[in-house]
Amino acid sequence: MIPFIKSFFYAFDGIIQFFRSERNGRIQLLLGCATIVLSAWLHISAGEWLLVIGNIAAIISLEMVNSAVEKLCNLLHPGQHPAIKFIKDVAAGAVLWSAVCSVVIACIVFVPKLKLL
Ligand SMILES: Nc1ncnc2c1ncn2[C@@H]1O[C@H](COP(=O)(O)OP(=O)(O)OP(=O)(O)O)[C@@H](O)[C@H]1O
pLDDT in tens, 8-66: 999 999 999 999 999 999 999 999 999 999 999 999 999 999 999 999 999 999 999 99
How far lies 77's CA from each of 68, 80, 81, 83, 116, in Å? 14, 7, 8, 10, 54
**Ligand-binding site membership of 10 (annotated):** yes
Q: How many domains does the chain have?
A: 1
- State whether the beta carbon of 80 lies less than 6 angstroms from ligand 1: yes
- CATH number where 105 lies: 1.10.287.3610
- Give, in degrees to the nearest 5, the angle at Cα 25 between 12 and 53: 80
Q: What letter represents residue 68's amino acid?
A: A
Nearest Cα residue to 55 out of 15, 10, 102, 20: 102
67, 72, 88, best to mutate for ligand 1 pocket (most atoms within 8 Å of CB): 88
| Closest ligand 1 atom to 70 CA | 27
* ipTM associated with this complex: 0.89
Structural domain of residue 72, as residue ranges?
2-116
74, 85, 87, best to mutate for ligand 1 pocket (most atoms within 8 Å of CB): 85
What's the pTM?
0.91
